[in-house]
Structure 1
Amino acid sequence: MQSLYISLNSIEKVKQFVNLINLYEGDFDLSSGRYIIDAKSIMGIFSLDLSKPLRLDIYNNPEEDEIVSKLQVFLSE
C-alpha cells in the first residue's frame, strides 16, 4: 500500500481525478479525518471536506508507480 496527500480544490480537478483513477483496476481510498470513501466515486468525493488535503491510499496495484507519476498534478504542497 502507498499513501499520498492530494488536493482536489475545484470541481474540474475532482472530475479529472475520477476519470484518471477509473482507468486503473484495484482499490483506491480517499480519507479526510475519520471519513474514508472509494476514490472512484465522484459522489463520495464531494461528501468530503475538499478545502483540506486528502489522503489517497493505493492498494496492491502493479501499476502503482505509473499511477503516482500521473497523479503529480494533484499532489498537495
Structure 2
Amino acid sequence: MNEMKITFKKPEEILDFVNKVEKYDCAMDMNRGIYVVDGKSILGIMNLGLNNIINLKIYDEDCEELKKEIAQYAVA
C-alpha cells in the first residue's frame, strides 16, 4: 500500500485527478477525518472539500506511474 497527501484548490482539479486515476486498475481510497470515499469518485472527493489535506491510499505496490501523473496535487 502507498500513501500520499493530496489537496485540491478548484473543482476542476478534482475532475482532472479522477480522469487520470480511473485509467489505472488499482483500488484507492481517500479520507479526511472519519470520512472515507472511493479515490475514483468525483462526488465523493468533492464531499471531502477543497483546500483540505486529504489522505490517499493506493492498494497496489506498482503505482509509480500513477504517482507521477498525480504529483501536481501532492502536498510537500
Same-fold call, TM cutoff 0.5: yes
Residue 6 (structure 1) aligns with: 6
User: Kindly, what percent of the aligned residue pairs are identical?
Assistant: 29
Alignment RMSD (CA, Å): 1.1
TM-score by length of 1: 0.90
Residue 69 (structure 2) aligns with: 70
C-alpha distance in 1 between matches for 2:25 and 2:71: 19
TM-score by length of 2: 0.91
C-alpha distance in 1 between matches for 2:9 and 2:28: 19
Runs of 4 or more above 3 Å deviation: none
Residue 33 (structure 1) aligns with: 33
**For each residue in 1:20-68, what CA deviation from the matched residue of structure 2 results, as whole angstroms up to 9, or x when unmatched?**
0101012111111111100111011111132211111000253x01111
Instruction: Name structure 2 gaps, 5 residues minimum.
Output: none
In structure 1, what residue type is equivalent to 2:9? N
In structure 1, what residue type is equivalent to 2:8? L
C-alpha distance in 2 between matches for 1:24 and 1:45: 17
**Contact conserved, 1:29 with 1:38, CA < 8 A, in 2?**
yes
C-alpha distance in 2 between matches for 1:71 and 1:20: 7
**Contact conserved, 1:3 with 1:55, CA < 8 A, in 2?**
yes
